[in-house]
């Protein structure tokens, strides 16, 4: 006989871990107990030596589907003489445990949902220990029903019996419920007047959508606005009501087969769509689906997802009863422009009432709003560590708040990220918790959401920051908030943070060459950076060893929203007044004003941004002289590029003294302008432009390798969401013998910035 005290940390609460341990222990004739505390799971077990050893081996080898073990410690103790094996109630504690993300409904629950003989047939809140809401309903830890928004729903005898039965799939499933005791669904109009309840509510919403109407549907982490994607008038009206004329709209398909009507879905993308995380996957458009241009204009990709909540499955079932076809719905976030997704019933009516004619509501409160994650599946190369080539573009439902393991330990800290695509990060030791997508941190509403979630993460993960890290930009609201918190602050340059983010994502301690391509980052010289070649020596030093040449940005924000202004200024600066083109929809007076501004130097910013260079090229080609959403011009240029064109525009690399190498762009702009004048196909021009950027990246890495001997290249920044560039740059570097690091767990855009800010703290105090 022997006995052990075991502690396990990781994703071990809300995923059926205690009944899993109970079954392992009782099946081996062992005695003792298992319990949750705020740090994870505690086990005391005693019995025959071989049986105890077998249990210790089986725990990490046979985990429940959604569980993950970070650490397992086992200490031999005296045999206490336990009688039987018990599952104890949770206890509080000083430590922290991981919280499971929200999980897509599982196959077992879907089978019950469709079974007319099952007591949960057609019940929109069916779940079990393997699926359902987690992050979106939790208030505090340990994760038990009283600490969730299910606390107000007392379980009926049947549900309570399941909840207490260790052999049942719903044992200690905290959101467990049924039609007799659980949340309910209803439909109402924009005034809040109820028009139907229960199954009738879902049918009413389906009738509204099938007849060309727009509906607001409350999901796991917030509201969606939806309409029939095959109804062009409905899509146009949704765009008009949401004031979203051009930005791509996400789709939800009734099935993978239906998704393939609109998209070319690879096997790997299909697995992502059907995974427990169930993200939006950016898939290439299929030719022949007529509405594709309305759903995702000027873009080769469509954001596609499959239903992941029971209510969504039931909505599709009701739609198919009306019209048995492979339904595709526009399913876009229910929010006002650039504000967080709506999650409260009353506020949704107030803020979405102008867009939706019917609301599909329920009374399971969303404690923590949580937008859909977005993922891209890369091709042509294996990711570092062999973990596949999926890259997160928006880190949220299904992924947050999973921790990231850091290559170096840091003290307790908070990183507040940047202004665009904001996330924040809390970290201590070698564990970092990146938040779900917060949004554009330039409004009071978004900053309030940021403060709210920071307070919750701090309580859940028991981290009291001793340092707060922020971007160097002095005018970001996140910078000002960081400086108001009353603890030590430190600023990290934007592109240094991008570099440290991709290194942390790959648990790489350096050295590394950093290729940082994005739109905007406040530089150490006060200028706007964005086409950067850095070197991290693995110690405490990050050097800027190269960049794109500085070009004039006339009018700051006005130029970003009107890329023709950037193109005009770049043309004037690089080629002279005579080479300045004219752009559709731009008057001679407007053009002359920009030229004079460029010549005078008044109200000009200077930038090395590759994102702005993309904008300028897109405008020069007549693709996007004006934009209605961020990165629109660059996305259109990527989509236009001819795949089979290997030509490139010329460029130069200058080395002024001891300073960083400068990529000169006059030759590139001259040839682009000449091609436009000759009437060269725009797709060929777009390819030649992007092929030049690929060559620049590889040539600059080769130059830095000659200086440093480093053969590891790390790629980060929002421009690396461009698959044309990322796949070709990565392939070119790999063929040249480089180890190439790209993002996997966090976005390459500013959604991953906070992780890099945390990692930059590990450099402090090093030589």
For 183-228, write each residue's pLDDT tens digit: 999 999 999 999 999 999 999 999 999 999 999 999 999 999 999 9
| 99-183 and 185-362 have identical folds | yes
- Summary count for the chain: helices (H), strands (E): 23, 30
What is the average pLDDT across 567-586? 84
pLDDT(386) > 70: no
CA atoms within 13 A on the CB side of 41: 27
Determine how many CB atoms are found less than 10 A away from the CB of residue 284: 15
What are the residue ranges spanned by the domains of the chain? 2-87, 99-183, 185-362, 374-506+747-761, 546-741
**What pTM value is reported for the model?**
0.93
Q: What is the DSSP string of 74-90?
A: EEEE------SEEEPPP
Residue 726, pLDDT score:
96
Sign of the Cα pseudo-torsion (92, 96, 97, 101, in order): positive
Residue 767, pLDDT score:
43
At 390, list the tokens: 């999926």
Task: Give the model's confidence band at 336: pLDDT under 50 very low, under 70 low, under 90 confident, else very high.
Answer: confident
Question: Which positions ≥6 away from 386 have C-beta within 8 Å?
Answer: none
| Angle of CA points 340, 342, 344, to nearest 5° | 135
Q: How far apart are CA 151 and CA 143, in angstroms?
A: 12
* Domain 99-183: CATH architecture, name and number where available: Alpha-Beta Complex (3.90)
Place of tokens 């937008």: 371
Residue 116, pLDDT score:
97
Ramachandran category for residue 708: left, alpha or beta (phi over 0 → left; psi -120 to 50 → alpha): alpha
* Domain 374-506+747-761: CATH architecture, name and number where available: 2-Layer Sandwich (3.30)
Q: How far apart are CA 92 and CA 255, in angstroms?
A: 43
At 544, list the tokens: 């800027």
472-512 tens-digit pLDDT: 999 999 999 999 999 999 999 999 999 999 999 999 998 99
Better pLDDT: 96 or 103: 103
Q: For residue 358, count CB atoms less than 10 angstroms from its CB and return exposed for 0-12, middle for 13-18, buried for 19 or more.
A: buried
Q: How far apart are CA 714 and CA 380, in angstroms?
A: 17
Residue 74, pLDDT score:
92
Strand runs labelled E in 484-527:
488-492, 512-522
Q: Going by CATH, does the domain composed of 2-87 fall within 3.90.190.20?
A: no
Using only C-alpha atoms, the chain has a radius of gyration, in whole angstroms, of 27
pLDDT(765) > 60: no
Contact 109, 126 (CB under 8 A): yes
Residue 180, pLDDT score:
98
Separation in Å, CA 146 to CA 155, 163, 400, 492, 534: 12, 14, 22, 41, 50
Q: Which of 565, 577, 547 is nearest to 664 (CA)?
A: 547
Contact 190, 349 (CB under 8 A): yes
Question: Which positions ≥6 away from 728 have C-beta within 8 Å?
Answer: 690, 691, 694
Separation in Å, CA 559 to CA 247, 565, 676, 696: 19, 5, 22, 25
* pLDDT, mean over the chain: 93
Contact 704, 535 (CB under 8 A): yes
DSSP summary character for residue 294: H
Determine how many CB atoms are found less than 10 A away from the CB of residue 282: 24
Q: Which of 179, 599, 143 is nearest to 368 (CA)?
A: 143
Q: Going by CATH, does the domain composed of 185-362 fall within 3.30.450.20?
A: no
Determine how many CB atoms are found less than 10 A away from the CB of residue 191: 8
Share of the chain above pLDDT 70, in %: 97
Instruction: Report the 3 state secondary structure along 119-173.
Output: CCCCCCCCCECCEECCCCCECCCCCCHHHECCCCCCCCHHHHHHHHCCCCCCCCC
392-448 tens-digit pLDDT: 999 999 999 999 999 999 999 999 999 999 999 999 999 999 999 999 999 999 999
Share of the chain above pLDDT 90, in %: 84
546-741 topology per CATH: Nucleotidyltransferase; domain 5 (3.30.420)
For residue 401, whether the previous peptide bond is cis, meaning omega lies within 30 degrees of 0, is yes
Cα–chain center distance at 695: 29
């Amino acid at each position: 006989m022997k006995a052990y005290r075991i502690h396990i940390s990781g994703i071990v609460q809300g995923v059926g871990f205690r009944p899993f341990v109970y079954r392992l222990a009782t099946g081996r004739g062992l005695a003792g107990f298992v319990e949750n505390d705020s740090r994870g799971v505690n086990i005391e077990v005693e019995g025959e030596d071989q049986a105890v050893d077998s249990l210790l081996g089986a725990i990490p080898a046979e985990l429940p589907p959604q569980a993950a073990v970070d650490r397992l410690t086992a200490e031999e103790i005296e045999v206490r003489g336990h009688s039987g094996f018990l599952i104890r109630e949770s206890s509080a504690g000083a430590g922290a445990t991981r919280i499971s993300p929200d999980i897509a409904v599982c196959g077992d629950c879907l089978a019950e949902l469709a079974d007319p003989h099952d007591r949960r047939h057609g019940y929109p809140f069916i779940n079990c220990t393997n699926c359902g809401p987690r992050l979106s309903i939790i208030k505090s830890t340990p994760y038990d029903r009283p600490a969730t928004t299910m606390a107000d729903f007392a379980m009926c005898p049947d549900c309570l019996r399941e909840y207490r039965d260790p052999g049942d799939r719903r044992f200690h499933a905290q959101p467990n419920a049924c039609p007799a005791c659980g949340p309910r669904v209803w439909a109402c109009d924009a005034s809040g007047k109820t028009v139907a309840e229960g199954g009738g509510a879902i049918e009413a919403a389906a009738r509204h959508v099938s007849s060309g109407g727009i509906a607001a549907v409350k999901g796991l982490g917030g509201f969606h606005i939806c309409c029939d994607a095959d109804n062009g008038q409905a899509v146009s009206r949704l765009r008009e009501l949401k004031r979203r004329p051009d930005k791509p709209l996400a789709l939800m398909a009734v099935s993978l087969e239906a998704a393939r009507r609109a998209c070319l879905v690879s096997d790997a993308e299909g697995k992502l769509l059907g995974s427990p995380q169930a993200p939006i996957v950016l898939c290439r458009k299929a030719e022949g689906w007529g509405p594709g241009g309305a759903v995702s204009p000027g873009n080769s990709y469509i954001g596609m997802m499959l239903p992941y909540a029971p209510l969504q499955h039931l909505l599709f079932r009701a739609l198919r009863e009306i019209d048995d076809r492979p339904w595709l719905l526009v399913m876009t976030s229910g929010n006002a422009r650039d504000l967080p997704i709506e999650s409260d019933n009353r506020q949704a009516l107030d803020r979405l009432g102008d867009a939706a004619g019917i609301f599909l509501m329920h009374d399971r409160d969303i404690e923590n709003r949580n937008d859909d994650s977005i993922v891209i599946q890369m091709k042509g190369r294996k990711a570092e560590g062999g973990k596949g080539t999926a890259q997160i573009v928006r880190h949220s439902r299904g992924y947050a708040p999973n921790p990231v393991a850091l290559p170096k330990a840091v003290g307790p800290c908070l990183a507040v990220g940047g202004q665009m695509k904001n996330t924040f990060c809390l970290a201590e030791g070698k564990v970092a918790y990146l938040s779900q997508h917060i949004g554009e941190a330039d409004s009071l509403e978004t900053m309030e959401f940021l403060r709210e979630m920071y307070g919750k993460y701090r309580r859940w993960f028991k981290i009291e920051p001793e340092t707060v890290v922020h971007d160097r930009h002095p005018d970001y609201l996140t910078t000002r908030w960081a400086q108001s918190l009353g603890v030590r602050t430190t600023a990290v340059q934007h592109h240094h943070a991008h570099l440290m983010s991709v290194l942390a994502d790959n648990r790489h301690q350096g050295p590394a060459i950093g290729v940082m391509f994005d739109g905007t980052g406040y530089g150490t010289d006060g200028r706007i950076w964005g086409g950067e070649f850095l070197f991290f020596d693995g110690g405490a030093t990050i050097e800027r060893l190269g960049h794109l040449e500085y070009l004039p940005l006339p009018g700051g924000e006005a130029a970003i929203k009107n890329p023709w202004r950037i193109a005009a200024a770049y043309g004037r600066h690089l080629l002279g007044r005579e080479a300045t083109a004219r752009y559709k929809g731009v008057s001679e007076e407007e053009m002359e004003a920009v030229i004079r501004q460029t010549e005078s130097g008044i109200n000009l910013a200077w930038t090395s941004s590759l994102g702005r260079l993309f904008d300028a090229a897109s405008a020069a080609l007549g693709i996007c002289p004006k934009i209605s959403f961020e990165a629109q011009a660059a996305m259109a240029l990527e989509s236009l590029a001819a795949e089979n064109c290997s030509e490139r525009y010329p460029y130069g690399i200058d080395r002024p003294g001891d300073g960083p190498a400068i990529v000169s762009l006059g030759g590139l702009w001259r040839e682009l302008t000449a091609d436009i004048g000759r009437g060269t196909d725009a797709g060929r021009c777009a390819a030649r432009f992007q092929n030049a950027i690929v060559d620049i990246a590889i040539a600059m890495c080769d130059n830095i390798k000659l200086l440093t001997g480093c053969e590891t290249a790390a790629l980060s920044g929002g421009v690396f969401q461009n698959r044309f560039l990322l796949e070709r740059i990565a392939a070119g570097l790999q063929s040249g013998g480089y180890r190439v690091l790209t993002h996997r767990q966090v976005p390459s855009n500013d959604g991953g910035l906070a992780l890099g800010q945390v990692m930059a703290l590990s450099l402090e105090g090093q030589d």
